[in-house]
Structure 1
């Protein structure tokens, strides 16, 4: 936004501090009018013919705008993605422990990425990894929905789970 002396247009349409139309005048006259009221002349619609300028307290406007942005940022919810890595020859207890961790993450409102990495000759049997990852999804089924189906990417299979409950604060 251009303010005060930065406005180089010959004629501008001027809007007062209380949104009243003050008419079309030269930018010098508009700047003088704003100066008399100890306010700033701000160009709010440069594409219009003639450009529209408003008489306002620009510092206060910027402060209010920053305040609104901070408020909006405070109300924003960020979604964390937690990753759980499995191996093809995982034992039952380890599997249950990792499923428990995933359920805890899901209850907290995070998304969970499950990945199975194939090493060496394990690449010859991707169906075992897919069965393992589907079994993991079933173990977490009461806490999660499958957001993204298992997909083979290079030497690993990945799948995303999202919580099926409202996050608790």
Structure 2
């Protein structure tokens, strides 16, 4: 049986750390940061069978963003229709490092899609205070973000 040297162990740990860093970089690259204004994520929804469900994966933040995010479908020509709201209030995932565990949110897009004539080109996230006439001021240090946005027909 061969012995394991410190150098071999160090090389293995370095390779493992590089793999973890690469995975983290891929996850960050696949995320879209939600800013102080409207943030659009391209999406193609066409006609098909079943109810269209928009799934927003990787909903996370490093700290509470102190705002809601309205989720809207955008059709051709910039018209929008409401899907729902994402709230980070009372997230239980903020740990010692302040981050929340990525989560997924599901939105039935049947009505919104009908309002847009059956086609959508993007999902738009708009900061909202939840009160008409009161501007939303998301905390930029929260780094609120979403991952992949997709559609399933059910």
**Which structure features the higher share of helix residues?**
1
With normalisation by structure 2, the TM-score equals 0.30
Question: Taking structure 1 as the reference length, what is the TM-score of the superposition?
Answer: 0.28
